[in-house]
Amino acid sequence: MNKVECTLCPRHCKLAEGQRGDCRVRTNVGGKLFSLVYGKPCAVNTDPIEKKPLYHLLPGSSAFSIATAGCNLHCLYCQNWEISQSQPENARSTPMSPEEVVSKALANRCRTIAYTYSEPIVFYEYTYDTSKLAKDKGLLNALVTAGYIEQEPLKQLCAVTDAASVTIKGMTEDFYQKMSKGTLKPVLDCVTTMKKMGVWVEIINLVIPTWNDSDEDILALVRWIKNYCGVDTPLHFSRFWPMYQLTNLPPTPESTLNRAWDIAKKEGLRFVYMGNLPTHHGNNTLCPSCGKLAIERRGYEILQDHAPNGKCKYCNFQLAGVWK
C-alpha cells in the first residue's frame, strides 16, 4: 500500500514507499510523490541559441541553459549520459532557485532560458516555476526535449513555453523500444500539441548509420512533419557520433546527411539544416521566396544576417520563427 502512480510521462511508474521512477528523480515518500532535483541544476551554462539547436528563435542571441540529473528515456547513443542516466546524488549540483535562474539569465544578457542537456520533462516542476517567472520578466523559455510526456502536464507547460526543439528519434515503435526504451506515439502527440498551442517547434533527427538512415526512414519523418507540422517547421538532421553504448558504429557519413537533406527539400520542407557539420551549407537559412542567402552560419556562429527580424532584405518575405 501507500503506492503512488506518476502520471507525468507515458511510463506511469507505480512506486512503492521509497522507490523512484524510471527517471530516477521522482520518488514516493510517505505516499506522496516528490521531485529530488527541484532547484538542483547539475549543468548551468550560457550557450548560443544555435546550440539547442533553434535556428529560428532570436538568431545570434544567448540562452541561459540549465539541466538536472535524470531522464525518462535511455537512448543507447546518449551524448549526455553522465547526467541523464545518473542518480541525482551522483551528479554534482548547485542549489539555484527559479528566482536565481531568472536573475542570472538577465545578468548574463540572455534572451531565453533553455531547459536542456538532459530532459526538462523529468525536472518538470522546476522547469514550470522557472518558466513562469522568466515570462514575467520578459524572457523566452525554450525546451530541448525528447517529448516523452503525457498530454495534461504538457499543456500546462506549453502555456509558459515559447519554443521547443523536439527530437523525433525514429518513425517506428520498434525503433523507440530498441533505441530508447520508449514509445513513438506520445512523442508525435507532443509535437502536434505544441504546434496547436502556439509553441515554436524545431524538429531534430539524429541520423544513425544502420538504425534510421534509409530513404524510407527519412521519408516517413519528412512526410509526417509536412502533414502534421507544416513545411515551415525547421528540421535539423544531426550527425551521429559514436557515444555511450553505440561506440561500435561509425559517425554518420556526410553523404548520408546530404541524401537526407535532398529528400526533405524535395518533399517541400522549407528549412532543412545539418547538425554537427559546422561548415556545411546546410547550416544556412535560404529565403523560401527569393532563394537568396538569408542567414549564413558556421557552427553556432552567425556570419551574415540578411533577414533582420526574420524579414528577407532582398524580397521582404517574412520567415517563420520568433524574431523579436
Partner 1 sequence: MITLKTQDIVFLSIITISLLTMFALSTNNVIITQKGGSITAELTARLTASGLPLHPAQYWERTNE
Task: List the interface residues with partner 1, window 294-313 (CB under 8 A).
Answer: none
Stretch that binds partner 1, among 30-38, 58-66, 190-198, 304-312 (CB under 8 A): 30-38
The answer to the question of residue 4 lying near partner 1 (CB under 8 A) is yes
Cα dist. 13→35, 102, 119, 190, 207 in Å? 14, 32, 17, 19, 30
* 119 part of the interface to partner 1, by CB under 8 A: no
DSSP 254-291: HHHHHHHHHHHHHTT-S-EEEES-TTSGGGSEEPTTT-
Is 133 one of the binding residues for partner 1 (CB under 8 A)? no
Closest to partner 1 by CB, 24 vs 270, is 24
Residue from 10, 19, 265, 317 touching partner 1 (CB under 8 A): that is 19
Whole-angstrom distance, CA of residue 171 vs CA of residue 51 = 24
Please state, in angstroms and rounded to a whole number, the distance separating the CA atoms of residues 144 and 165. Answer: 5
Strands 62-67 and 112-115: parallel
Residue closer to partner 1, measured from CB, 119 or 150: 150
Angle in degrees, 0-180, between the axes of helices 215-228 and 254-266, rounded to the nearest 10 = 40
Return d(Cα 111, Cα 88) in angstroms, integer.
28
Q: Using the rule CB under 8 A, which residue among 77, 126, 148, 211 binds partner 1?
A: 126
Residue type, 286: L
Of the candidate residues 150, 162, 213, 217, the single one contacting partner 1 (CB under 8 A): 150
120 lies in the site for partner 1, by CB under 8 A: no
Taking the C-alpha atoms of residue 89 and residue 83, their distance in angstroms, rounded to an integer, is: 11
Closer residue to partner 1, CB minimum distance, 54 or 73: 73
> How near is the Cβ of 306 to partner 1 at its closest, in Å?
44
Binding residues among 76-95 for partner 1 as defined by CB under 8 A = 87-89
Rounded to a whole number of angstroms, the minimum distance from the CB of residue 40 to partner 1 is 6
Binding residues for partner 1 (CB under 8 A):
1, 3-8, 11, 13-22, 24, 26-27, 29, 31-40, 87-89, 124-126, 128, 150, 152-153
